[in-house]
Chain A
């Protein structure tokens, strides 16, 4: 269970996230949708305790991230690809995380096999393709067998086979009773993967509903999404001159 309560984040004069509240429940894939710059990544960074909110709080199983007893066993996250040092092998990267998370080291080879990186686990991770880097990030997220998972744009850089693999993985993690928050701006992918949707625009909550309900509002999920976010998309807004808050994809 993830609880986001009145979360607000400002960068100078720009408000990236404003009074955002929603809950992510276990046993379902919750899609986190919004145009570029809507504050998805910033929200996820605040849930992970990387950025400090200006107001509000984000709780995981009732606690802020920084107060979790065994963070990696409680939460797994893929925030951006390449959250590793290029000079270190995938195995060394995961072994270090396992040590930090109090996770048995045999788990490293298990997750490497699960994401299909066993054969290249000894190679410097800097030589990996974007798809392999995404897989390493997913391996790190699964390392502690956590009950709560966050994925920010996990299908970036994956081939069709990889995209399908992620989709099945998300669904199976949710079916096991885990809490899964999946951000993406690929609506078609979301329609196939998510059960529930949290839609934001310009840092504000636009919808918190089921995929089925939102789809029923228009001819398709995409139509319904555009109807919902039209006003908050900078490059489609009718010359409002208001820029969307910058998406913090640069770390």
Chain B
């Protein structure tokens, strides 16, 4: 059998790289309606919670004036935002497995580590940007909702800008944690259960048993008591230590997820 010459153009020089994987993941992320709805829910929910919390913030008693930290109150919506952002991060990975699209994805980008890092880079960058934007907007909206007579925090006051920006960054980190957990389990239900367990259930249970000794290391506790504070809380991790601990968690979970994806059959 004689094979006629193949008419199609030969592949150009070079090879596929991380940038191709990242562009692919960006198109995939923005072409799902759920991305937009989830991020809108995060933005609207965090602003609403911030405004309502501030509107209900009373003038502190003289005894508590020193530790009065309205910046912490205005960022209370992070607890909701982390859930939405984390679950969407889980779906960025597990949605590929439940739908079967992972086969197409791996056909284009066979290296699972490259693929996972591209997903993390794209989703992490998006949630970081949205997180910072919503944290800033929430701060100013909530500040405006404070009742007369309640001391108003200024963005230039000591620690305030740090609290706002670290809270925004927290959403990006939780997004990455969701991606890592999704890569570990590859199943939506178990990944969401793990995420909710780590962010809500375990710190509450452990906090009830042993106080803050262990509970202070859980993400939600770090977010509320270490990151979103203009006035650091005693017994809790300092803001920068909290951030470093979170980054460590993300690196470990993403690294383990990448390792497992590379080892397991798709």
CB of B16 within 8 Å of the partner chain = yes
Binds B, one of A20-28, A181-189, A214-222, A233-241: A20-28
In the complex, how many angstroms separate the beta carbon of B143 from the nearest chain A beta carbon? 38
- In whole angstroms, how far apart are the Cα atoms of A28 and B107 in the complex? 23
In the complex, how many angstroms separate the beta carbon of B19 from the nearest chain A beta carbon? 9
In the complex, how many angstroms separate the beta carbon of A176 from the nearest chain B beta carbon? 6
- In whole angstroms, how far apart are the Cα atoms of A99 and B35 in the complex? 19
8 Å CB interface, A194-211 against B: 195
- In whole angstroms, how far apart are the Cα atoms of A75 and B106 in the complex? 12
- Contact among A72, A80, A176 for B107, CB-based, below 8 A: A72
**B11 contacts A48, C-beta separation under 8 Å:** no
- Contact among A92, A100, A176 for B4, CB-based, below 8 A: A176
Which of chain A's residues has its CB closest to B108's CB? A100
| Interchain residue pairs with CB less than 8 A apart (26) | A27-B3, A27-B4, A45-B266, A66-B110, A69-B14, A69-B15, A70-B11, A70-B16, A72-B107, A83-B104, A84-B100, A84-B104, A85-B32, A86-B99, A87-B33, A88-B32, A88-B101, A92-B31, A95-B27, A97-B24, A100-B20, A101-B16, A176-B6, A176-B8, A177-B6, A251-B100
Q: Which residues of A contact B34 (CB under 8 A)?
A: 87
**B6 contacts A85, C-beta separation under 8 Å:** no
Q: Which residues of B contact A25 (CB under 8 A)?
A: 1, 3
Q: Which residues of B contact A102 (CB under 8 A)?
A: 12, 16, 20
- In whole angstroms, how far apart are the Cα atoms of A80 and B266 in the complex? 13
**A28 contacts B1, C-beta separation under 8 Å:** yes
CB of B265 within 8 Å of the partner chain = yes
CB of B7 within 8 Å of the partner chain = yes
CB of B95 within 8 Å of the partner chain = yes
- In whole angstroms, how far apart are the Cα atoms of A69 and B11 in the complex? 8
- In whole angstroms, how far apart are the Cα atoms of A65 and B11 in the complex? 15
CB of A123 within 8 Å of the partner chain = no
Can you list, as one digit per residue, whether each of A39-67 has a CB less than 8 Å from chain B (1) or not (0)?
00000010011111000000000000110
**A49 contacts B104, C-beta separation under 8 Å:** no
**B96 contacts A79, C-beta separation under 8 Å:** no
8 Å CB interface, B63-91 against A: none
**B107 contacts A77, C-beta separation under 8 Å:** yes
In the complex, how many angstroms separate the beta carbon of A141 from the nearest chain B beta carbon? 9
**A177 contacts B3, C-beta separation under 8 Å:** yes
Given contact pairs A66-B111, A70-B16, A51 touches B266 in the complex (Cβ within 8 A) = yes
- In whole angstroms, how far apart are the Cα atoms of A82 and B25 in the complex? 19
Which of chain B's residues has its CB closest to A86's CB? B99
Which of chain B's residues has its CB closest to A88's CB? B31
**B105 contacts A100, C-beta separation under 8 Å:** yes
- In whole angstroms, how far apart are the Cα atoms of A176 and B15 in the complex? 25
**B3 contacts A100, C-beta separation under 8 Å:** no
CB of A135 within 8 Å of the partner chain = no
CB of B5 within 8 Å of the partner chain = yes
CB of B259 within 8 Å of the partner chain = no
- In whole angstroms, how far apart are the Cα atoms of A97 and B21 in the complex? 9
**B20 contacts A176, C-beta separation under 8 Å:** no
**A82 contacts B108, C-beta separation under 8 Å:** no
In the complex, how many angstroms separate the beta carbon of A245 from the nearest chain B beta carbon? 15
CB of B58 within 8 Å of the partner chain = no
Q: A93-B31, A176-B8 are in contact. List 13 more A-B contacts (CB 8 A).
A: A27-B3, A50-B265, A71-B109, A75-B107, A83-B103, A84-B104, A88-B28, A93-B104, A96-B25, A99-B20, A101-B16, A147-B6, A251-B100
Q: Which residues of B contact A140 (CB under 8 A)?
A: 104, 107
**A176 contacts B31, C-beta separation under 8 Å:** no
Q: Which residues of B contact A38 (CB under 8 A)?
A: none
8 Å CB interface, A100-159 against B: 100-102, 140, 145-147
- Contact among B4, B21, B103 for A50, CB-based, below 8 A: B103
CB of A247 within 8 Å of the partner chain = no
**B108 contacts A97, C-beta separation under 8 Å:** yes
- In whole angstroms, how far apart are the Cα atoms of A179 and B23 in the complex? 29
In the complex, how many angstroms separate the beta carbon of A113 from the nearest chain B beta carbon? 17
CB of A73 within 8 Å of the partner chain = yes
5 interchain residue pairs of minimum CB distance:
A27-B3, A100-B24, A100-B108, A92-B31, A69-B15
Q: Which residues of A contact B210 (CB under 8 A)?
A: none
In the complex, how many angstroms separate the beta carbon of B125 from the nearest chain A beta carbon? 16
